[in-house]
Structure formats: C-alpha cells, structure tokens
Amino acid sequence: MPLREETIRAGLTTRRIGSAIHLLHEVDSTNDEAAALARGGEADGAIVIAEAQRRGRGRLGRQWQSPKGLGLYLSVILRPAIPPHDAPVLTLMSAVAGADAIERTTGLIAAFKWPNDLIVHGRKVGGMLGEMAVEGSRLLYVILGIGINVNQAEADFDEELRQTAGSLRVEAGHLVDRTAIVRSFCESLDGWYERFLCDGPPPILEYVRRHCLTLGRQVTARSGDQEVSGLAIELDDEGRLVIRDASGELHHLLAGDVTLTG
C-alpha cells in the first residue's frame, strides 16, 4: 500500500520531527532532496520520504537498493545549535531511533554494528547515512538518512546480498505496516533529539554501547588508507570506535568500514 501524508500525520505525536512532510514518488536520493530543501531554508525536523530511490546510497558511496513500495527511505533535516565536531553522534541517534521503531512495530530486536548498520538475527535490515553542511566553524544543518528493508522478500535482493541482507518481513514472518514504521521512527527520533538538545551525546552513547554488536569483538577496520585489526573495546565520548591492536596501541576511529573477524 502506498504511503500517504494524511495517514502518516494521523496520530503522529512529535514536537519537531515531521514539522513538514515531503512525500515523493521516486527520487535519486532522499538525502539529496533533503539537502536541497535545507539549502532553501526548510525547517528543523522536516522529513523527506520516497517510495523508491534511483540512486539510494549508503556509506562510502555504496548503493542502497530501494525498490518501490517495499522499504522505508527517509531523510530528516536537523538544525541543532552545536559545533560541527558534535554532529557525528546524530547518526548514532538515528540508529537508536530506527532500532526502537523496529521493536515497537514488529517486536524484533535490532542491534547495532558500528558505525551505521541495524542487524536483526545476524542480517542487515537497515542503515544510516549522516551528512552535514558547515560554514566556517558553524554547523548549518545535518541530513540524517535512514533506509530500512521492510517488506522485501528473499527474491527481492540481489544474489550476492541474500546471505547478509534481511528485511522485517523475512525476519518477522509477515508483512509489516510501513506507515507504522514511519510514525514510530519519527516519534522515537523526536524524543531522542529532545534528549540530545538537553543532555548532549551521553544518553545516546550509553544506549548504543549496550546494544552494539561490535564491542568486545575482534575486528578489522578500514578508514581511508588506514587498516587496523584488533579488539573493539569501547565507544569513546565522541562516538569513535576504540580498537586495541596486538601491540596494545589504541586507535580511535570516527568512521570506517568494519568487518567482524572473531
């Protein structure tokens, strides 16, 4: 069933998130659409939702498959009065909201694989992409994009993804109401955003630490030309992954491509 703005708004109880809803049929990327709106002055909390994306993307320029009418493809414009170096934790905030929405809507428990994957029963069902615009030392806005595989069947995934990708439908064993997922995500993000504006990153980081699959595991992380292998021991107060290598040296990664190796 297609998403409808009036149905999403019915019963939506948020203070900021969903202040404006831009519901589109098909776009290249909801993050690109949201960024264009943000440059035009669109307000804090406005969201862009698409039924399909032609060039949906994840981290490191990877494609996010976005078939029509099956997933959640949503981006949020945020304008917090914070320094740019505090902005990366907002991507973790969207992951927390995504996990909460999945549990509230389906009963499935989603865990985090740092830095931006949502995992259910060992399969990736969602991912986040945070992008920001900065002028000098001032943060202009942040775009938080989230993609969740909602009603895809196994056959909807490319063959190379079928071993690692999942959907809420596959994991729950039934079709899932996409409108309910949208509402739950917006309401959860709204609450966490208010907490962030009041209390900063600590509540978000505490939640992620408790639900992060990466911590306590042997990993190999690649960030640019750097490759680090070792034990993922913690998330620091900036949301960076701390890896202790074989020599005992600590490495703090703000972003990277992480493989669990043990």
- Condensed to tens digits (0 to 9), the pLDDT of residues 106-157 reads 999 999 999 889 999 999 999 999 999 999 999 999 999 999 999 999 988 8
What is the mean predicted confidence (pLDDT) over 2-28? 95
Domain boundaries, the chain: 5-210, 218-260
By mean pLDDT, which of 47-51, 60-64, 81-85, 154-158 is the weakest?
A: 60-64
- Going by pLDDT thresholds of 50, 70 and 90, the confidence category of residue 63 is low
Go through the chain and tell me how many residues it has. 262
By mean pLDDT, which of 124-133, 160-169, 189-198 is the weakest?
A: 160-169
By mean pLDDT, which of 4-8, 58-62, 217-221 is the weakest?
A: 58-62
- 5-210 and 218-260: identical CATH topology: no
What is the mean predicted confidence (pLDDT) over 44-52? 97
What fold, for 218-260?
SH3 type barrels. (2.30.30)
Q: Are the CB atoms for 122 and 202 separated by under 8 Å? A: no
Closest CA to 239 of 103, 78, 130, 77: 130
- Going by pLDDT thresholds of 50, 70 and 90, the confidence category of residue 225 is confident
Of the chain, the percentage scoring pLDDT greater than 70 comes to 97
Q: What is the pTM of this model?
A: 0.93
Query: b vs e for 201-240, b when ≥16 Cβ sit within 10 Å of the residue's Cβ?
Result: beebbebbeeebebbebebbbebeeeebbbebebbeeebb
Q: Which two tokens stand for residue 120?
A: 């259910």
Q: How far apart are CA 243 and CA 262, in angstroms?
A: 14
**Is CATH 3.30.2320.50 what the domain over 5-210 is classified as, yes or no?**
no
**Cβ-count burial of 1 within 10 angstroms (0-12 exposed, 13-18 middle, 19+ buried)?**
exposed
